[in-house]
Amino acid sequence: MLQVNVKTEDLLRAVNLTVSVSEKKSTLPILSHFLIEAKDDSLIVTASDLETTIQETCPATVYSPGRLTVSAKAFHSMVRSINTESINLTEGDRLTLELLAGQFKTVFFGLAAESFPKLLDESDFVCRTLNSKDLINAIDKVIYSVSARDERYNLSGVYMTLEENEDKKSLRLVSSDSKRLNISTIVESVVDFELERGVIISKKGIQELRRLAETVDSIEVGVSFTCVMAKTPTSLLELHLLEGGFPDYRMVVPLNHDKNANINRLAFLECLKRVSLISDEASRVGKFEFTKDNLHITLANSNVGQAEESLAIEYDGEPLTTGFNLSFYIETLSNLVSDIISITFQDPKQSFLVTGRDDPGYFGIVMTSTY
């Protein structure tokens, strides 16, 4: 039966990294639990919602090996409240787990460990190392445009595909909600990355992958036909892929744009935020008027009023007026780092292409709207 002593800070790190995966309102009670396992010199904490499973290992003094499950929410809250240097965990009768920290003691009621979902075999995956910073930057540039509409199931995740051009590999992440499309590419750290076909990772899964990448300088990632597996020295993350095919995004990438506007990103972002303060759910589309070296943005709300602002830009094309959902540009600009962004376009009814000088491998496509 399980008996172990573990440093509080190590256990807290483990439960902090895993608790977000556990299901809060599942019809399967076991999915709202942690699997706690003690073996060798380690304590292993695992959480799963069937689609996403994460396992975190921390060093511990194991007096007796064992495994059982406890409520993830309650266990996480309790560990967060402990201020002693270490915690003792002891398995009791009838699937109970006693937590002892200094003069404090509590007992958790658990479920049978055999009911907990099992991880796939690591040997099924060929993992390659990716730079964590590159991966995080790529995810940040696409995750906000994942579709939230249930009927567009194949757009409810991030598409991952491997591109090869002139003997150079690049890992590409793509997302779309049918109103906009974002593409971000990792080039430098994917020399030996393997991916036989494009796959779709759920939004929750890609968020957990990002959270895990934040904890290390580099992360190992492998893909099978049904799952993505990510590894760090102490963590294992398993993401089941979404079924279905992602639309051919290349078909909507504009190739004939002949007009270009260069705009200071931060000035543009602040302008959009000010104008959008007057918006509500029914009035998010603003009027964009491009004239020589000037962009004038207007947004009207029949219940509140009207806001407008002019912005100095670099543009010498013909005057053009169109409409956009302001929040689309706000989200895009907030996740870029370039001082200057470029917007290219053909006419008021076609999509506009957004790129940044200091955001290599990224481009976004925003559809126009009726203002």
Q: Is 174 found in the same domain as 75?
A: no
Is the pLDDT confidence value at 193 over 80?
A: no
Residues 219-229 pLDDT 10s: 999 988 889 99
Question: Of 251, 286, 312, which closes a domain?
Answer: 251
Residue 353: phi, psi to the nearest 5? Answer: -105, 130
Q: How does residue 148 score in pLDDT terms, banded at 50, 70 and 90?
A: confident
Residues 246-273 pLDDT 10s: 989 888 888 788 899 999 999 999 999 9
Q: Is 237 found in the same domain as 266?
A: no
Q: Is 52 found in the same domain as 104?
A: yes
Q: Is 356 found in the same domain as 276?
A: yes
Is the pLDDT confidence value at 150 over 70?
A: no
CB 35 within 8 A of CB 116: yes
Is the pLDDT confidence value at 326 over 60?
A: yes
Produce one character per residue of 153-186: b if its CB has 16 or more CB atoms within 10 Å, e if not.
eebbbbbbbbeeeeeebbbbbbbbbebbbbbbbb
Q: How does residue 120 score in pLDDT terms, banded at 50, 70 and 90?
A: confident
Q: Is 180 found in the same domain as 98?
A: no
pLDDT of residue 126: 81
Q: Is 347 found in the same domain as 271?
A: yes
pLDDT of residue 187: 73
Q: Is 247 found in the same domain as 143?
A: yes
pLDDT of residue 124: 76
Residues 273-317 pLDDT 10s: 999 999 887 678 999 999 999 999 999 998 899 999 999 999 999
Q: CB under 8 Å to 38, separation ≥6 — which residues?
A: 2, 3, 4, 44, 60, 62, 64, 65, 66, 67, 89
Q: Is 159 found in the same domain as 258?
A: no
Average pLDDT in the 14-20 region? 96
Tally of structural domains, the chain: 3
pLDDT of residue 57: 97
CATH number at residue 227: 3.10.150.10
Q: Is 230 found in the same domain as 150?
A: yes
Q: Is residue 98 part of a domain?
A: yes
Question: Of 115, 133, 162, which closes a domain?
Answer: 115
Q: Is 106 found in the same domain as 140?
A: no
Produce one character per residue of 209-231: b if its CB has 16 or more CB atoms within 10 Å, e if not.
bbbbbeeeeebbbbbeeebbbbb
Q: Which of 173, 203, 215 is nearest to 362 (CA)?
A: 173
Q: Is residue 371 part of a domain?
A: no
pTM: 0.91
Q: Is 352 found in the same domain as 293?
A: yes
Q: Is 43 found in the same domain as 127?
A: no
Question: Of 68, 88, 115, which closes a domain?
Answer: 115
Q: Is residue 193 part of a domain?
A: yes
pLDDT of residue 349: 87
Mean pLDDT of the chain: 92
Range of the domain at 26: 3-115
